[in-house]
Structure 1
Amino acid sequence: MIYYASAVGSVVLALLKETTTWHVHSLFKKGFNLMNQNGAIIFIGTNENGLFPFGISVDEQTKQKMMSHIQHNDEFCANRLKLRHAQFSIDLNTTIVEPRRNFHDADVEALRMCLMAYDFSDYVDSDFSLSRMTALKRSLSDADEMVLTQLEFLVGRGNGLTPTGDDILVGLLYSHFIQPFIVPVHFQSIKTVIAQERTTIISENFINLAIQGIFSSRISQLNDTVSDEAIQSLAEVGSSSGKDTLYGIYIGLIKGVNE
């Protein structure tokens, strides 16, 4: 049986050139993840949460059929533009999704105003309070600050495949690309903490791509469109991942933190 992808992230094609053997790492409602021996992840599933740079998109029916044949640790082998499982193959000869890096097009002030009106009260009495997160932002903007302890507190904190602290960090990184504030030395600080294996493999992949300025379509659409609809579409990703990411963007764009 051959199934056909509707879109493939360009990161996927690069990964498949590097590694031909992959195994099923995790399965969930919207699809499943493959992982190679280096810990790189490829997501295969529907695009309900947007398009991912390391994702292969399929329709709902195709996803259900594939998932009826697979289980944890099953092997997939890449051969040109096909991924082969013992029971089926996936044809990847389709639309290639390139990362959107047009950060200079973002209307930073409009995004800031939208987020100022958003309700982030859930974070007030949490581990991710405004004071703690703005302190982290200040540290990230100062090369003389030791930021490792703050990052170690954040990374991996929370539940799920992408813990809250990690999603906030991805949001902070996005805000940096549209309005720079992180000094170069602290990009290395972030890499150092990620290398400590403090969080999930899924989150490590998201953060490592975010460091390179590569984000999911629900985030990168903000480069082009700032609207209540765009904000809400990101907020609806996962149980709280989208809102956590928005909170990170909000922290990054708040005026007065570094001024």
Structure 2
Amino acid sequence: MINSISGDTDFIKVINNSTFTGFVHSTFNRTFNIKCFENGDLYTIACNRLDNGPNTLIVDIDNMKPMKIEANDRVRVEENLLYIGDQLTISIDKACKWESVLPTYPCNVEILKRNLMKMKDFINIHGVGGGMKKNVITLNLFETEVSNMLENRTLLLLNELLNDRISSALPHAVSLLGLGPGLTPSGDDFLTGLFTIFNMKNSPFYPYRSFCEDVLKKAKTLTNDISYMTLKKAAIGKVRESIISLLNALLIENDEDLNLSLNKLLNIGSSSGTDIALGIVFGMEANIRAGG
């Protein structure tokens, strides 16, 4: 048996209520995902090197591979213990509860403006190319074409949002779904960042956050299960701890905090962190321009 270090409040509540059954959906070195029979959602078990996130438990091991978890292993809960086939039992007794709570959009955006400039400079130097950020040297014509499509579609999306044409912006956002490289495609990661900003209270786009749900309605058949689940949570403002840390850092004058939080985010996946970060930049700048 291993202990959970921390976990999403809702996930822990489900386990405590002993109402969770499912099967292992997918496995990786640092995580595995469980498909829940009760609601169809994906839940993640992550090693201790990763950050908290929606529907996620962080457990006290540094690599999942020795656990020999396999796809389709049955999952159940008994007496507050999570059983993964016959291979693994997870206790939540010592788990710290974590909840995704976004900061409020600031009334004065001057600090935010300065930090966004620093953030863009940081991404230009340290961000991973090949997705929303163009590679200086492209390896093939397909990569170049995908990169151009991502750029053109985000520009069309921005134009509609800034002109308060939310319904016209919808097809441009939908056109990003499933587009680009990665387990979670670059277009999806970008939208995750954008959805996050839509859900910041007091932001100019907060009254239009149903836009995120409208995009999500189209996403089920346009991307994979893992990416869809991330978008589903981001559409209601539920995102990873590293994203929330960055948002908090953007609202204060502390370059060290900003750089540390940016570095953590950019290290997610291959280009996922960079793509999410650029979605955040896009959303923040759109809010600033919409707010006058």
TM-score range, shorter chain: 0.7 to 0.9
Aligned position for 1:241: 272
Does 2:6 match 1:7? yes
Deviation at 1:19, TM superposition (A): 4.4
Deviations 1:83-118 (A, max 9, x none): 013233110121111112233479633431222323
Contact 1:148 1:193 in 2 (8 A): no
Q: Which residue, 217, 221, 226 being the options, matches 1:192?
A: 217
TM alignment of 1:1-259, pairs within 5 A: 2-16=1-15, 17=17, 19-37=19-37, 38-61=39-62, 63-65=64-66, 67-68=67-68, 70-85=69-84, 86-93=86-93, 94-104=95-105, 108-117=112-121, 118-119=123-124, 123-124=133-134, 126=147, 127-129=149-151, 131-140=152-161, 142-143=164-165, 145-178=167-200, 179-181=203-205, 183-194=208-219, 196-226=220-250, 227-254=258-285, 258=290
**Stretches of 4+ moved more than 6 A in 1?**
none
SS at match of 1:96: strand
The unaligned stretches of length 5 or more in structure 2 are 135-143, 251-257
- Aligned 8 A contact 2:195 2:212 in 1: no
Deviation, 1:61, is 4.8
Moved more, 217-226 or 181-190: 181-190
Offset of 1:173 from its aligned partner? 1.5
**Aligned equivalents of 1:137, 1:80: Cα separation in 2:** 50
Alpha-carbon distance between aligned partners in 1 of 2:245 and 2:33, rounded to the nearest angstrom: 24
Percent identical pairs in the alignment equals 24
- Per-residue CA deviation, residues 48-88 of structure 1 (Å, 9 max, x unaligned), is 342112111123357444x22x2110001023421013233
Higher mean alpha-carbon deviation, 234-243 vs 173-182, is at 173-182
Q: 1:92 to 1:18 in 2, by over 3 A?
A: closer
2:22 and 2:36 in contact (8 A); partners too = yes
TM-score by length of 1: 0.85
- Does structure 1 conserve the Cα–Cα contact (< 8 Å) formed by 2:42 and 2:229? yes
| Cα RMSD, aligned residues only | 2.7
Residue 143 of structure 1: CA displacement? 4.5
TM-score of the two chains, using structure 2 as the length reference: 0.76
